Amino acid sequence: MAEKRELATFAGGCFWCMVKPFDEQPGIIKVESGYTGGHTENPTYEEVCSNTTGHREAVQITFDPDVFPYEKLLELYWQQIDPTDSGGQFADRGESYRTAIFYHNDRQRKLAEESKQKLAESGIFKDPIATDILEAGPFYPAEEYHQDYYKKHPDRYKRYRIGSGREGFLHEHWGSKEHGGQKEERLKQLNQMQYEVTQKNGTEPPFQNEYWNHREEGIYVDIVSGEPLFSSLDKFDAHCGWPSFTKPIDSEEIEEKLDTSHGMIRTEVRSKTADSHLGHVFPDGPGPNGLRYCINSAALRFIPKDDLEKEGYGEYAGLFRTREKE
């Protein structure tokens, strides 16, 4: 059977952040970054950023509607942006970063308008929805170095999503649907113990888990979101039967909450991005801060030091190079 092809065009602020969420879906044939909506032919990135061309940064998606219909594209689009911001997106300000849905036919226009109205009535956002719905015009592909930016520069891409404020905003407003609803798909890949620990605040048996005595160098990431959490450089044997660390890689990626379950008063540790239950932190550690992060192996995935670049965590390789120099 011949593959069907249709076009969808969305402006969602910096186009670096608008490719990956669509690229990962079934039925998506191509995602191209570019410029549209303005009056200048074949604009350059610098011209568009000067806000003198009328163009917006956008992505044009070639998709098979039988596999991934336009309605699902709209739903995924809303989950990547702040639709209430009329002046740009997150750290990027100006006309070229304003959001818009560019429809290619009357059916797309009607679906976009219905989707926008549904979002406005959902109560997810307090402020009015400011995203424009406009007829699609000429689309000018961006320079090659902008295409598939998340693949070419995974570390910079991650830092930009977080540093611009986009990552935190999406997590705050969509919760379990962060990253375009992909959390549900990742949860389906967990085994019974991983799900019990991360989603139901369970605890795995001591001394009968994957990492309690694991000594290889590398980092430990959230089993659900992949967010870096702990390093082997801060791991120690607490003789408790669970992986123990003196500190997280980045305290901003950890949330601590009061836990009064099981007749005890403890401090629970959760991951910020995926809201996974990780374990607890106790004031009896050996490090300068005197803390012991007692973490369930089932909440973690280990990335060996030598695989950091390959797995997209190259920015953390420097942790180990610094140790080697010492």
Tell me, what's the pLDDT at 1? Answer: 55
Q: For the chain, list the domains and their CATH numbers.
A: 6-184 (3.30.1060.10), 202-318 (2.170.150.20)
Dump pLDDT digits (tens) for 111-169. 999 999 999 998 889 999 999 999 999 999 999 999 999 888 887 888 888 888 898 88
Question: Which residue out of 17, 49, 240, 294 is catalytically annotated?
Answer: 294
Could you give the percent of the chain with pLDDT greater than 70? 94
- At CA 165, angle to CA 293 and CA 50, rounded to 5? 155
Dump pLDDT digits (tens) for 10-35. 999 999 999 999 998 889 999 999 99
Q: How many CB atoms lie within 10 A of CB 42?
A: 9
Question: Which residue out of 14, 17, 49, 240 is catalytically annotated?
Answer: 14
Query: 40: which 2 tokens?
Result: 């200048």
Q: Is 14 noted as a catalytic residue in this protein? A: yes
Residue 270 has pLDDT above 80, yes or no: yes
Query: 151: which 2 tokens?
Result: 């693949």
3-state secondary structure of 270: strand
Residue 279 has pLDDT above 70, yes or no: yes
The contacts of residue 211 (CB under 8 Å, 6+ apart) are 220, 243, 297, 300, 302
